[in-house]
Amino acid sequence: MSKSAIERLQTGIAYGFLSILLLLVLFPFYWMTITSFKNEDQMRSLVSMFWPSPAVLENYYQLLTKTDFTIWFRNSAVVAVSSTLLATAIGTIGAYALARLRFLGRAFLSSTVLITYLVPPAILFIPLYAQIRTLGLSDSLAGLIATYPSFTVPFVTWLLMGYFESIPVELEEAAMIDGATRFRAFRVIILPLAAPGLLAAGLYAFTQAWNEFLYALVFITDVKQRTLPVGISGFITGDVYGWGYLMAGAVLTTLPVILVYIYLQKYMVEGLTAGGVKG
Amino acid sequence: MATPAARLRTDVALPEQRGGAVGLKRMLGSDYRLGFIFVSPMVVLVLALVAYPFCYAIYLSMTQKFVGMPPVFVGLENYIRLASDGFFQRAVVNSFVFTFASVVGKLGLGMLMALVLTSQIRFRSLFTGLLLIPWVAPTVVSALNFLWIYDGSLGVLNYLLVKVFRILPQGVGWLSEPGTAMASVIFVNIWRGFPFFGISFLAGMKSIPAEMYEAASVDGANVLQRFRHVTLPGIRNILIIVILLSTIWTFNDFAIVYILTKGGPGGATQVLPVFAYEMAFGAQRLGEAIAVALYMLPGLAFVIILLARYMRRGQAR
């Protein structure tokens, strides 16, 4: 075989595997979406499996008017936005200090942040539950807003430490030679330069908080205080599953994350490794 | 220790320093004031939300504690009782099976994804973006999607296998039969996690200089040899980090198993995090439930420390 034939064969094989992977990855989302537009008769009779016929909006109507979905959506938004702002603020200054400032305990703290990021919620959820109860924060969104930083702060800090380190230190030094204090150099020079990193870190934290399940399941028992993941998964506890409106709920729960993701995608390919592997 | 540059920075930062301040600075570091202020919220948070609960967990695991009642100290009784508990032993075995099979599966599919995305294909960034979606989508949504796909009577998987491709004579209760439940749950975990492996390997492969491949080609290496002797050594660090990270995440995964099977049928998919949850909030035995979680600790601590060393080395580079 000639060299170009081998290359063509390789490319052909690559496209073959790519198609399989795409089918595997996208089918569940395709299935979720078309299910949300099917009516119950169609679902039960197994006709026109792969396209809704007729396409109806009754699942969405039922979801938005007959369930607590809108309340859960609001709860999720409140919890995710508040805990993200909190985590980004704490993480930004913490990361700057760990990346740039010289003080006793810096190396120890850097290790602690990383180890904290790696400690899984499965170890912490029961004692945190006891703590939340003692503080009277169970069954309230405040309990979630207060505890979500336990995983978002280490993550944001670790991510931003790398980001701050990539900004040339000479910029701050120049500002300080001109008489600026360290804090002023941070606020005026570094923060604006780090803005894209802050935004990316914040949006990552947002999706983590939006997707969180275990703490929300454990700390909240009042139906009206649930967040989306716990709320929609509660639809399956009955014997008769309303698959149509459950999938409608799944679509609407996924949408905000996908929108964030489309915006973030350019950071993702390089950034996710920074976010996941490096930080 | 202070380099000339660092000393310069100190002098510039605080030109007004006097004798006492210099002594403090030598002890606490040149930027100690701003440094302490900036890290204090984080320190408070870590102490309150991780360190304290962690210590409290160790104490609670040595008590008999029911929700709403004060704990009674019982020493290591919970741990000893669990060791001979058949359900616990089964959950331990299941957790290892679940984690091992998931990580191996993610490794394979992730490698495939990275290799596909580094070959000569069009619209590479679009496809990369699409293949990452399972990793960004809420885990709960994905688990619910698969619950519906696996459904015994109306699920599309049975429809495809029985009616469309005629591979099976009749539908399978994927999640309700002990023989298929574990594999079905593992598949969902692989599906959700492999894009992270893929994107990490992709980043690693991109950082390997093209000359290395050219040199290998000139020396007569074929595709497999180039993969074995150029690609794999080039992504070795990332490979180790991703495997360790995923081992921690998978071992502690709660949502997928909880939503798909709740550990059933008959404990066939019971894993430690779900077992701990049910013991705490089903049986209301908090002390024992924490002991379940803490049994994972020695192994987990070992992996975390190992991983932290690799990750710090990665960041230092």
A24 contacts B190 by C-beta, under 8 angstroms: no
- The CA distances from residue A29 to A207, A252, B103, B199, in Å, are 18, 12, 23, 20
Q: A91: which chain B residues are within 8 Å (Cβ-Cβ)?
A: 42
From the centroid of its chain, how far is CA B271? 15
Q: B41: which chain A residues are within 8 Å (Cβ-Cβ)?
A: 89-90, 93-94
Per the DSSP assignment, residues forming a β-bridge with B73 are: B63
- If you average pLDDT over residues B44-64, what whole number do you get? 91
Q: Which amino acid is at B134?
A: P
Kindly indicate the confidence band of residue A236, based on its pLDDT and cuts at 50, 70 and 90.
Answer: confident
Per-residue model confidence as pLDDT tens digits over B261-310: 999 898 999 999 999 999 999 888 888 999 998 988 888 889 988 988 88
Nearest CA in chain B to A172: B9
- If you average pLDDT over residues B203-227, what whole number do you get? 88
Q: Return the minimum-mean-pLDDT range out of A58-62, A195-199, A210-214.
A: A195-199
CA distance A64 to chain B (A): 18
First to last CA, chain A: 46
B78-316 belongs to which CATH class?
mainly alpha
Per-residue model confidence as pLDDT tens digits over A99-151: 999 899 899 999 899 888 888 888 899 999 988 988 889 899 999 999 999 99
Q: Coil, helix or strand for B27?
A: helix
* Residue given tokens 């399956």 in the structure block: A236
Tokens of B187: 């598949």
CA angle A52, A53, A57 (to 5 degrees): 65
Q: What percent of chain B has pLDDT over 90?
A: 54
Looking at chain B, the domain(s) classified CATH 1.10.3720.10 span 78-316
Out of A100, A104, A157, the one facing B42 most closely (by C-beta) is A157
CA distance A77 to chain B (A): 14
Q: B132: which chain A residues are within 8 Å (Cβ-Cβ)?
A: 261, 265, 268, 272
Per-residue model confidence as pLDDT tens digits over B222-247: 888 889 999 999 899 899 999 999 99
Kindly indicate the confidence band of residue B124, based on its pLDDT and cuts at 50, 70 and 90.
Answer: confident
Q: B60: which chain A residues are within 8 Å (Cβ-Cβ)?
A: 126-127, 130
| CA-based torsion, A264, A270, A274, A275: positive or negative | positive
Cβ-Cβ contacts under 8 Å for A204 (sequence gap 6 or more): A155, A156, A159, A264, A275
Cβ distance B144 to A43 less than 8 Å, yes or no, reads no
Cβ distance A18 to B116 less than 8 Å, yes or no, reads yes
Closest CA to B283 of B124, B81, B23: B81
Mode of pairing for the β-strands spanning B63-64 and B72-73: antiparallel
Tokens of B36: 């302490």
ipTM of the complex: 0.91
Out of B45, B53, B137, the one facing A124 most closely (by C-beta) is B53
CA distance A72 to chain B (A): 14
Residue B258 CA to residue B144 CA, distance in Å, equals 11
Residue A246 CA to residue B140 CA, distance in Å, equals 12
Buried b or exposed e, range A174-205, using 16+ CB within 10 angstroms:
ebbeeebebeebbeebbeeebeebbebbbbbb
- If you average pLDDT over residues B168-174, what whole number do you get? 90
Per-residue model confidence as pLDDT tens digits over A150-201: 999 999 998 899 889 888 888 888 888 888 888 998 998 889 888 888 988 8
Q: A239: which chain B residues are within 8 Å (Cβ-Cβ)?
A: none
Taking the CA of residue B183 as centre, how many other CA atoms within 13 Å lie in the half-sphere pointing to its CB?
A: 7
**Is the pLDDT score of B58 beyond 80?**
yes
**For position B11, what pLDDT does the model report?**
43
| CA-based torsion, A253, A258, A259, A264: positive or negative | positive
DSSP category for residue A224: G
Cβ distance B131 to A269 less than 8 Å, yes or no, reads no
